[in-house]
Amino acid sequence: MIRIKDNEVALEIFERASIEQAEATEQGNYKVGNKCYKEIKKAIDFLKKNNALEILDICLNNHFVGVRLWAAYYLLPIREKESMKILEEIAQGTGIHSLTAETTLNEWTKGTLKF
């Protein structure tokens, strides 16, 4: 696992791990998915600690659904409107990521989503 030294490295780890986590989810490979989630969380924790979570804004337009999905999730508390729009777009699709986006929106709206 790469040691996070700055926000740029955290963003790179977040993007790579988000792509790999989404692919693992699609393939039903929970072991790889869980490992990737730990990397996502490590990057997020670093960004939160450095008050730099907004750096994820750039990820909302990423080509990969996993990157957009995870970025929107973590940005909900600070970029609600933009994050909800991305989640709604993903929810309109099909498959596991659509269901995840829909569930995230429902839980956020009910106020039961925990970070």
Q: How far is Cα 7 from Cα 9, in angstroms, rounded to an integer?
A: 5
Domain boundaries, the chain: 7-110
pLDDT digits (tens, 9 = 90+) for 11-52: 999 999 999 999 999 999 999 999 999 999 999 999 999 999
Token pair belonging to 31: 């072991």
pLDDT digits (tens, 9 = 90+) for 84-106: 999 999 999 999 999 999 999 99
Look at phi and psi of residue 95 and say left if phi exceeds 0, alpha if psi is from -120 to 50, else beta.
left
pLDDT band for position 114 (cuts 50, 70, 90): confident
Say which CATH class 7-110 falls into: mainly alpha
Task: Tell me how crowded residue 9 is: count the other CB atoms within 10 A of its CB.
Answer: 14
